Structure 1
Amino acid sequence: MSNMDLALKDMMVIDGAIGAAVVDYNSGMALGMLGSSKAMDLQIAAAGNTEVVRAKMRTMDSLGLNDEIEDILITLSGQYHIIRPMTGRK
């Protein structure tokens, strides 16, 4: 099993998780995905949530904030979306 497969499997241990993806920030393309729901297209989620991160980074830059995003939590009526930017190969 690859490191990517192990990382995705670790993400899916969250109780109720229906999908996980590792996404390239520059392209918005998913490098790896794991999911159990046909109702959620993880490719679309990957690209869309990359735009969320980019928008927040632009806002932080405009405000002159010299900081890093730790995570972003989006709360929907029936789901939580957790976005955690990573750098390098951790």
Structure 2
Amino acid sequence: MSVDLQTVKRVAHLARIAVTNEDAERMTGELNAILGFVEQLNEVDVTGVEPMTSVTPMEMKKRADIVTDGGKAGDIVANAPATDENFFLVPKVVE
């Protein structure tokens, strides 16, 4: 796959990035080099290779899946100027 100047400008537009013509030409070469490297990776035979999340085998740390109320309601509203039964009280904005 090859990236041309038109593609670089379109991607920059979609990403809302201002790119000058000189930058777009430079990026064209850089993106083609990156895509060339990725195409080299496609040539590697990985049949029978398990996907890895780390180079050393380990189990992910997991917490117990317990439903609680959090016990933080009092801490959350502690600095609020006005509260009532752990709810924030705010001025009425609709008349």
When normalised by structure 2's length, the TM-score is 0.30
More strand by share: 1
When normalised by structure 1's length, the TM-score is 0.31
Find the structure with the greater CA-based Rg: 2
